[in-house]
Every structure is written in C-alpha cells, then in structure tokens.
Amino acid sequence: MSISLYPYQLSLTQPLVFAQQMIGQRQGFFVQINDAWGEIAPPLTADMALVAKDARQACARLRQGLAHNAHTPAVQFGLDCALAQLPSAPFSLKTSPLNLPLLEGARDPLVRAWRCRRIHPALAWLTLTGSIHYDAGLIRELCLLAPKVRLVLDGAGQFSDEYIQDLWSRIDGQRIDWIMDAGTTLAQAQGLAEQANIPVALDIARYLDTPPPQQVDLGAFSFASALLIRPSQLGGLAYNQALVRHAQQLGQAVLLGDSLQSGFGQSQLAYLSGQWLGEAPLALGRCRYLLDSGVDHHGLPLISGLTPL
C-alpha cells in the first residue's frame, strides 16, 4: 500500500477569530492512499504537531496491513475517505443549488447584493450579530426582498435564551426553518425548543467531548428539529453515517457541514451528502474564507510545492 501525507497551508481572505485565537490560515493534510485521496482538516486551533503524529502513526499501521486506529476525528475521517476511494469532481459553492448561501457582514452590502440577485435561493444561512434591532431589521428586509426565501439563523451558541425569544417575537417565524445553536447552553436550546416552540438546530460537534464518544446516541439532542454534522470534527465514515441514520430515525432534518476544508474536501462532503441525504442542503459556506481552494482543475489536491512527511 502506497501512502503519502502532504501538509498544506491555505491562506484566509482575512484573519478570523476561533476559540479566542486569531487565525490567518487553514493548516491540514492531504493524504494519498494508492490512487485515492482524503483530507485531514482538524479544528483551526488544533495542535498540528499532535495531529501530524497521529496521522503518521495511523499511516504506519496501514502500511503494515492493520486498521489505522487513528485517535483524532479529522485523521479518522480523512483516512477513511481515502480508503473508501470516494470519487472527486470540481465543486463550486457558487453554482451548487444545494449549498446554503452564507449571509454575514455589514448590512448595506448584504442588502445590495440580495437586491441585485436575479434568482434568490430557497434557503439561506444568516449569521446573527447579537444586536436585536439590527438582526430583526435585517431579517425582515431580506424576507421582504425575497418573499419565498427561508432562513437558517445562526446563533453560534453566543446569545442568551432571552435574546433569542426577543428576536423571535420581532420576526415572522414562518420564514425561519431553524435557529442554529440557540442559547448559550444545550439546556437553554432545549428550553427554547420545548417551552417557546422555537425550531432549534444543533451543530452537535459543539456539544460533544473531544474526541467525541464513538457510540451512536443522539438522545440528548432529540428535542432539536435539525442536526448539523461536521464529519471532520466527529470521526470516521461509518460513525458519521450512523449519526445521520440515527437522526433520521428520530425524525430530524440533517445537514452536512464543512470544517473549512479545501475545495477537495468540499467535493467529498458534497458527494457524501448526496449519498446519505439525497437533495438535503449543504452547509459549506465557511469555505468562502479560503483565498485559494487548494485544488487543480480536476478537483484533486494541488500538491505541487508540497513536501510529504
């Protein structure tokens, strides 16, 4: 078995704050197993030396004909994708009808771009700011400009349940599919869903230990209307697919989301979503922060200039 591990660095369009750290680039690894590829995209604030050690040891076990037994979710997922020989094809956020447009930033450019659209999406993702008047006003204006659009509002676990209820009282809830990570705790999100009848969605990686437990039990999240699954933050292919199936059995909507992967990682997520979820929307909007997609015109990792470990 031929295995190569290529560390990469992809610059961001602007520095971003994650977990109170300023991040200017995405670091990760492309892994090639024979003729197939995967991507290891750990959390942006991860200790890359530890991730690299886990990846090297897992690859060494594979060369010996053993299971990789990686410990890091991103390594598990990247190696599993390569071993499964997932097909790859160029993927475009702009042209995919399934990807949710990410709306965030200053109001005027957002509204201007929204007004100039010839065709509006059926569903879009709006990041909340925490300013009740700003958020409620922007939501009303976007809905007025596009009478058929529906929104997913992203609270990112930053705003209290009081704020969420106040916001909900000021907007047309019929135009909102879910509020993602409403409230600052899982208990607050559950209260909003069960007591205030607000449709709540959860990015489940936010609420699981690191690394996540590998038993499939979504009982703690059963109150949510929808779950966002970011495979690279959760584990291997089989585990992620089991999470999807369990959520569907609970009657929940499911979306696959990115972990700021390269364009290659986006294409693999889009493929998996199609296989597991059919025409369900994709949450790959954060990849807009990459200055370069890191792929060639065939959609494969661009490894020229990269030195394998």
Residue 141 within a domain: yes
The verdict on 29 and 135 lying in the same domain is no
Residue 160 tokens read as 């209290």
Q: For the segment 58-77, what is each residue's pLDDT rounded down to a tens digit?
A: 999 999 999 999 999 999 99
Of 217, 227, 204, 235, the closest CA to residue 277 belongs to 227
Residue 88 within a domain: no
- Domain end position, chosen among 25, 49, 83: 83
The verdict on 138 and 166 lying in the same domain is yes
Q: For the segment 256-289, what is each residue's pLDDT rounded down to a tens digit?
A: 999 999 999 999 999 999 999 998 888 987 778 8
Residue 132 within a domain: yes
The verdict on 212 and 111 lying in the same domain is yes
Residue 184 within a domain: yes
CA distance 183 to 173: 17
DSSP state of 212: P
Domain of 20, in residue numbers: 3-83
The verdict on 77 and 136 lying in the same domain is no
Task: Check which CATH number belongs to the domain holding 29 and give it.
Answer: 3.30.390.10
User: How sure is the predictor about 87, in pLDDT bands with cuts at 50, 70 and 90?
Assistant: confident
Q: For the segment 6-42, what is each residue's pLDDT rounded down to a tens digit?
A: 999 999 988 887 777 888 999 999 999 999 999 999 9
Q: For the segment 289-303, what is each residue's pLDDT rounded down to a tens digit?
A: 888 888 888 888 999
Q: For the segment 114-146, what is each residue's pLDDT rounded down to a tens digit?
A: 898 888 888 999 999 999 999 999 999 999 999
Of 299, 263, 239, the closest CA to residue 79 belongs to 239
Q: Which helix (H) or strand (E) covers residue 33, if one does?
A: strand 21-33
Q: How many domains does the chain have?
A: 2
Residue 186 or residue 216, greater confidence? 186
Residue 95 within a domain: no
Of 65, 61, 22, the closest CA to residue 45 belongs to 22
The verdict on 54 and 127 lying in the same domain is no
Whole-model pTM: value is 0.92
Asked whether the predicted pLDDT for residue 95 surpasses 70, the reply is: no
